[in-house]
Chain A
């Protein structure tokens, strides 16, 4: 919202509304706005743009001897501009190409050395003294366009105000102004602050000044009477009164369309609105002043659309699919359902609340106009503006929900001003299609009065304001207050849409008082320690364990592309699809973490990292896996990828498996198994989709006490190709919550008093027998023998060997360590133990001791 300080000052002085808005200067005001109204995006010193431009009087004007369209002017600048060549009378010579130039006019002169305002923001053009067709010219006499005051460049700007030559142009036309741009977001619930009047009120309020709205705005119920006959009949047919609760319109006849007076044009231009003509400018002016958008139609163009009808009928209805509309500026749009259109007969002539149509716009030949002052539903306006990408000034205001209680005042004022500026007279009465509830109309406020006690306000702000202080703050911005015992019954003025509950009054008082004056006191609390989130603590632990093992933590996006899912043989149908994804790369919620990590391997190999371990703690989601809230379960996963650019002798699987064993050991998960994923092992949905990314026969399920903790293995060939993975790449993905459940604190066994003896045992078995199967038998038998002899025992696999030439067998070696609680074991005892063990294993699975 661009705020013009000149405009605010003008309101305050013209209507005796309030005191000067910036008694302490502009910087202080900007700071105060920041702390009590909203963030200031920009402060523009408009005066800089017009620096050096003066008002000059044309004393003589003669034809240029060498050019038909040029004139040579001698101008009087009161002698104020220094360093410019003058004739004996002190006049300055300027060559001018405008057709409307003539002697005796007051004009804006841009002297040499001064910047042309229209070029101020981009690539400033500084004028110089130069010869034009052989005649010296000092600067230029400026057109409205060159002054940045609209599109008109056909002639120079003629100053009709009574001014002395040599006056500063900016000051004379109110352009020595500050424009403060306040962030719109702040005003989402404050439609009244999209008008200078609302801002003027607020600036008074936050500085503790009283503000009184102008009488024409405050006493807003009187409609002007028409003295003339209704020669231009109008009917309103509102079919959607829920969305358009109020539609007012007036017909003005015999208007004379012309450019607006300078004061009006400059005021609009100062806040970035282009002057068009006197009628359109007036509608814009009052929109900017009150926040209430207006629209002007050409009555005769409306009539021409339905020549047979005696009157013009403005309809208000929902748009239909297949309709088209040419907007102002000649942009054609194909209408969709769901927007509000204004129609003449049944032809769409405007997009309600957003923009008017070109077929009925007011132009230089317009004689009679219809002025519309309506209230459009904020949500519908928002949807319409969004679907056509039309973020107009009107839409910006209607989407904040303008109060329908100011329409009369605004329309009556525009009618009055239009009479003055364009000579129009009201035809018949002002139409008011009004669907407001009787109670709202009667009370003159949109919401019921709010009862609030000063204690309530103080307790929420941490203040100790007196009731009288609170009253003063609210009365300053025109609330009505009735005292009721200890409480205050507060009625919001008709332009406020946001005051419904006591907390809204708290905000109002807090802001007007100034939040920067709140005492900063910490809340009182007892000494109970805050509950520790064990899940988060467990993640810290995992993170530290992985970093201790050389890991690098990465974060990857929660969204993946379809190609990655397909590369991992994951069915996209099992992943949540984002319908408005930013790019195809981010179309699906990932159903497992591993592929996202694998995606980060190649780039690091390419940058020369030789061997690394990436890990991520993240969440993934799988369709049909639903939590107790009925929402997709947040699958908390730890994923690790190891990779190396060098070829390794070992299958990469064992790198990843080793990480699982390391984690299990550090987390004191006692029994961990690696089960090959044979068809017998049925997986749940979430593990099935995770497993798809693994190379068959080269991955395993990590199982603890019969629960699947996760998967470990190597990437499938299609991922290896898609992501250019080196051969030495392996990965794992574990469920953090299950890992957490299975983990325990360290356990301790007293140290042995007697030394441990150990001996290796090497068994030859069938090559196809899995290590696990053999190991289990060896372990079980060791345990039995251990019990039998009362030895404590340990078993550690040392080697797996496949003798060249023997394709049927493999040899596995374990180190068996034994200890007795009461004495040192002899070699004989150890040998006996090993022999018995070998014998038992041989009986069980036919393995022979080597």
Chain B
């Protein structure tokens, strides 16, 4: 293309500009969509019919064909990268100014979900809960069996889980860690030290994506087992956490619910902290936000964890973190979280 070989001056000049443009493009194919090229075709249409127009048309078509060939050539030819000395601290023949330097923290960001988990774990840490991370792949026993879900039980309907060829499960709730948390701490319990743990983690549901639904999201599970723990303790504990989290007094309420792993089970709601319960778009004008599921740990779950349900009782809860963050910042689309889009991420310092 260096030679160009175009008769028409206008085509020749455009070809040169396009050539420069081509060098700068990442997506080389984009050159074919350059406004410079379409301008030539636009000009062609304005010419009176006749020999001149035909000649000009021929030239423009040739330019287009040349560009196409160039794109093709550029994609096909892979320039192998030369070996470098990876043991060297910097590249050869570069002055210190030409070497890469660390970026500044000016435009850095921490993901709002991991940041929020940090905030939440901090509060629970102060309340005496240790943190345990969840798994991203687990077996049926931990996801269902140890949680009092009989095989083929309809209660499993509410958990559309992803399953691998081997029958391993992408956990649909952080409760998948409950059995482990109990087993690992049953000895401390016997020595009179309560089990208090929160479990943050990534969970998965076989659910189509839209602005409000994600197949991948974050949950926080909590477990408290000791002698004499009751349902009033559960509600009071969640209430003080939420009041600390939102920095205001809140009203809370429970609705009876069904989970196989707790008895009794509740859905837990708090008065909307954004409108003080008056009704706003965040709480759909109801004044209440349903936030999490909770209940007293089923004796079968305690037993599976090696804990004697005659002597000890406990409560557990689980709730989504994504929604907390969406409400807190007014994030309109849950898909932003995993988009990797810097326009989104850089808003969270």
With CB as the reference atom, state the residue of chain A lying closest to B128. Answer: A530
Q: How far is the CB of B264 from chain A (nearest CB, A)?
A: 4
Q: How large is the interface on A (under 10, 10 to 19, 20 to 34, 35 or more residues)?
A: 35 or more
Contact status of A578 and B170, CB under 8 A, knowing A515-B254, A530-B130, A600-B340? yes
A518 to B231 Cα, complex, angstroms: 8
Which residues on the B side are within 8 Å of A552 (C-beta)?
107-109, 342, 345-346
- Separation of A428 and B293 alpha carbons in the complex (Å): 53
Interface string of A517-561 (1 = CB under 8 A from B): 011111101001111110110001001101111111111111100
* A773 to B85 Cα, complex, angstroms: 11
Interface residues of B (CB under 8 A from A): 26-27, 75, 78, 80-96, 98-111, 113-114, 118, 121, 125, 127-133, 135-139, 151-155, 157-158, 162-166, 168, 170, 193-194, 196, 202, 204, 206-209, 215-216, 224, 226, 228-233, 235-237, 239-240, 253-258, 263-264, 266-267, 290, 296, 298-299, 313, 337-343, 345-346
The reply to whether A399 and B26 form a contact with Cβ atoms under 8 Å apart is no
Q: In chain A, residues 677-699, which have Cβ atoms closer than 8 Å to a Cβ of chain B?
A: 695, 697-699
Name the A residues within 8 Å of B78 (CB-CB).
717, 721
Chain B minimum-CB-distance residue to A189? B258
Closest to B218 in A: A555
Residues of A within 8 A of B155 (CB): 188
- Which 5 A/B pairs are nearest by Cβ-Cβ distance? A550-B103, A600-B340, A462-B232, A772-B87, A697-B83
Is A771's CB under 8 angstroms from B87's CB? yes
Most buried by B among A185, A523, A543, A632: A523
Contact between B342 and A609, CB atoms less than 8 A apart: yes
Residue on B nearest A509 in the bound complex, by CB: B264
Contact, CB under 8 Å: A580 / B206: yes
Do residues B264 and A506 form an inter-chain contact, with CB atoms below 8 A? yes
How distant is A534 from chain B, measured CB to nearest CB, in Å?
A: 10
Interface contact B240-A582, CB-CB below 8 Å: no
Assess whether B345 is in contact with A554, with CB atoms less than 8 Å apart. Answer: yes
Tell whether A188 pairs with B258 under 8 Å between CB atoms, given A589-B164, A654-B91.
yes
Verify if A607 is at the interface (C-beta below 8 Å from B). Answer: yes
Inter-chain CA distance A522–B27, complex, in Å, is 61
Cα distance A460–B163 in the bound complex, in angstroms: 37
- Check A650/B90 contact, CB under 8 A, given A550-B108, A580-B163: yes
Give the contacts of A374-388 with B (CB-CB under 8 A). Answer: 378-379, 382-383, 386
Interface 9-residue window, one of A15-23, A34-42, A98-106, A244-252: A34-42
**Are A579 and B164 touching (Cβ within 8 A)?**
yes
Q: Which of B98, B196, B345 contacts A649 (CB 8 A)?
A: B98
- Chain A residue numbers with a CB within 8 Å of B313 are 459-460
Q: Is the CB of A461 within 8 A of B230?
A: yes
**B residues within 8 A CB of A600?**
339-341
Q: Which residue of the partner chain B has the closest CB to A696?
A: B83
Pair B215/A35 contact, Cβ less than 8 Å: no
B190 to chain A, nearest CB (A): 16
A800 to B194, CA, bound (A): 61
B229 in contact with A523 (CB, 8 Å): yes
Chain B nearest Cβ from A642, distance in angstroms = 8
Chain A 589-632 residues near chain B, CB threshold 8 A = 589, 597, 599-600, 602-607, 609, 611-614, 617, 619, 621, 631-632
Whether the pair B239, A551 counts as a contact (CB closer than 8 A) is: no
Q: Which residues of A in the span 500-522 have a Cβ within 8 Å of any Cβ on B? A: 501, 503-504, 506-507, 510-511, 515-516, 518-522
CB nearest to B111 among chain A residues? A553
The 30 listed contacts between A and B (C-beta, < 8 Å) are A38-B257, A186-B255, A378-B154, A382-B152, A460-B230, A511-B264, A520-B232, A520-B239, A530-B129, A530-B196, A544-B110, A554-B340, A558-B136, A582-B207, A605-B26, A612-B103, A631-B138, A632-B168, A650-B91, A650-B100, A651-B84, A653-B86, A654-B90, A654-B99, A661-B89, A675-B87, A771-B87, A798-B96, A800-B90, A800-B93
Q: A655 near B: Cβ within 8 Å?
A: yes
Contact A651 B91 (CB under 8 A): yes
- What residue of chain A has the Cβ atom nearest to residue B161's Cβ? A580
**Cβ-closest chain A residue relative to B349:** A547
**Residues on B with beta carbons closer than 8 Å to the beta carbon of A611:** 103
- Tell whether, in the assembled complex, residue A578 and residue B258 are in contact, meaning their CB atoms are under 8 Å apart: no
Contacts known (A185-B158, A382-B157); A536 close to B345, Cβ less than 8 A: no
Nearest neighbor of B106 in chain A, beta-carbon distance? A550
Question: Would you give the shortest CB distance from A189 to chain B, in whole angstroms?
Answer: 6
Given A555-B114, A576-B137, A578-B170, A713 contacting B264 (CB threshold 8 A): no
- A704 to B82 Cα, complex, angstroms: 27
- Option from A379, A516, A536 in Cβ contact (under 8 Å) with B131: A536
A382 CA to B155 CA, complexed, in Å: 10
Given A530-B196, A631-B168, A634-B135: A382 touches B108 (CB 8 Å cut-off)? no
Are A558 and B231 in contact (CB-based, < 8 A)? no
Chain A nearest CB, measured from B244 CB (Å)? 12
Instruction: List residues of chain A with CB within 8 A of the CB of B196.
Output: 525, 530
The answer to whether A649 touches B94 (Cβ under 8 A) is yes
Q: A726 on the interface (CB 8 Å rule)?
A: yes
B90 touching A699 by the CB < 8 A rule? no
Q: A530-B130, A621-B137 are in contact. Are A645 and B88 (CB under 8 A)?
A: no
Q: Which residues of B contact A209 (CB under 8 A)?
A: none
The reply to whether A503 and B233 form a contact with Cβ atoms under 8 Å apart is no
Query: Measured between alpha carbons, how far is A525 from B158 in the docked complex, in Å?
Result: 35
Q: Which residues of B contact A551 (CB under 8 A)?
A: 103, 108
How near does chain B come to A193, taking the closest CB pair, in angstroms? 11
Contacts of A176 in B (CB 8 A): none
Residues from chain B with a CB closer than 8 A to the CB of A34 are 255
Expressed in whole angstroms, the minimum distance between the Cβ of A628 and any Cβ of chain B is 12
Using known A-B contacts A547-B109, A552-B109, A658-B102, determine if residue A632 contacts B137 with beta carbons closer than 8 Å: yes
